[in-house]
Chains A and B, each alone.
Chain A
Amino acid sequence: MTHQRFLRSVAHIALLALAPALSAQAQTIDYGSLELLFNEPVTTSATGSPQRSTEAPVAMEIISAEDIRRSGATDIPTILSRVAGVDVLTWGAGGAADVSIRGYDQGYSPRLLVLINGRQVYLDHYGYTAWATLPVELSEIRQIEVVKGPNSALFGFNAVGGVVNIITYNPKYDQTTSATVQGGSGGTFNGNVVDSFKLGSDFAARVSAGYSRTDQYENVTATAPVNAAYLVNPERRAVNVDTLAQLAARTQLRVEASYSRVQQSDVDPLYEYTPPVYTTKSAKATLSSETGLGLAELTAYRNRVDLDYLFSIGPVSWSNTIDVLSAQDLFKVGTASTVRLAFEYRHNQLPTAPIGAAEVSYRVYAPSAMWNWAVSDKVALTTALRVDSLHVERSGGFPAATPFIPGLPGLEWPLQDNATFTRSMAPVSANVGLVVRPSAVDTLRVSYARGVQAPTLIEFGGIQALVPEPQIPVAFMGNPAIEPAIIVNYEAGYDRSLPAIGGRAGLKVFYQTTDGLVGNPSATNILVPPSFTVIPGVGPVPTSLPGVGWANVGSSKLSGAELQIDGKLAGGYRWGFNYTYTHVTETPYAGQDLMAVDVAFDRSTPSSRANLNFGWSGGPFTADGYLRYVSGFSLFSPAGALEPVPAYTTLAARLGYAIGPKVSVAVAAENLTHGRQQQTSGLLVERRALLSLTAHW
Chain B
Amino acid sequence: MEFRTARAAACVAVAALLIAPAAALADPAKDLQVAARALGFLEAAPTGSVVLGIVFDPAKPATVAERDALLAALGPGLGAGDMKITGQGIEAGKVGAASGVTALYVTSGVNYAEVGAAASAKKLLTISGDKACAQAGHCVMSVVTSPAVEITVNHNAATAVGASFKAAFRMMIHEI
A-side interface residues toward B, CB under 8 Å? 25-27, 29-30, 33-34, 36-40, 42, 49-52, 54, 290, 294-295, 330-332, 335-336, 338, 372, 374, 377, 439-441, 496-501, 505
Contacts and interface: CB of A to CB of B under 8 A. Distances in A.
B175 A335 contact: yes
A27 B172 contact: no
B43 to A, nearest CB: 7
B176 A335 contact: yes
Of A39, A290, A440, A497, most buried by chain B (CB within 10 Å of CB) is A440
B164 to A, nearest CB: 10
Contact of A377 (B43, B170, B174): B174
Given A440-B24, A500-B23, A49 B148 contact: no
Nearest to B135: A377
Of A27, A38, A294, most buried by chain B (CB within 10 Å of CB) is A38
A330 B81 contact: no
A523 B175 CA distance: 61
Given A37-B34, A50-B172, A440-B24, A25 B43 contact: yes
Of B17, B34, B146, B176, most buried by chain A (CB within 10 Å of CB) is B17
A39 B149 contact: yes
A294 B167 contact: yes
A2 to B, nearest CB: 37
Contact of A29 (B34, B144, B155, B168): B168
Contacts of B101: none
Nearest to A338: B171
Given A33-B37, A336-B175, A501-B17, A331 B147 contact: no
Contacts of B41: 33, 37
Given A34-B172, A39-B148, A439-B21, 17 more contacts: A33-B37, A39-B34, A40-B149, A51-B172, A295-B167, A335-B175, A374-B175, A377-B176, A439-B22, A440-B22, A440-B147, A440-B148, A441-B148, A497-B147, A499-B147, A500-B17, A505-B18
Of B41, B146, B172, B176, most buried by chain A (CB within 10 Å of CB) is B172
Interface in B144-176: 144-152, 155, 166-172, 174-176
Given A335-B155, A441-B22, A497-B147, A37 B167 contact: no
Given A34-B172, A496-B18, A499-B147, A331 B23 contact: no
A33 to B, nearest CB: 7
A18 to B, nearest CB: 15
A502 to B, nearest CB: 11
B39 to A, nearest CB: 10
Contacts of A42: 172
Contacts of A501: 17
Contacts of A27: 166, 168
Given A33-B81, A501-B17, A441 B172 contact: no
B40 interface: yes
A25 B168 CA distance: 12
B38 interface: yes
Nearest to A26: B167
30 contacts: A26-B167, A27-B168, A29-B168, A34-B168, A37-B38, A37-B41, A37-B151, A40-B148, A40-B149, A294-B167, A295-B167, A295-B168, A332-B167, A335-B155, A335-B176, A338-B171, A372-B171, A374-B175, A377-B174, A439-B22, A440-B24, A440-B144, A441-B22, A441-B148, A496-B18, A497-B147, A497-B148, A498-B17, A499-B146, A500-B22
A372 B23 CA distance: 30
Contacts of B172: 34, 38, 42, 50-52
Contacts of B175: 332, 335-336, 374
A44 to B, nearest CB: 9
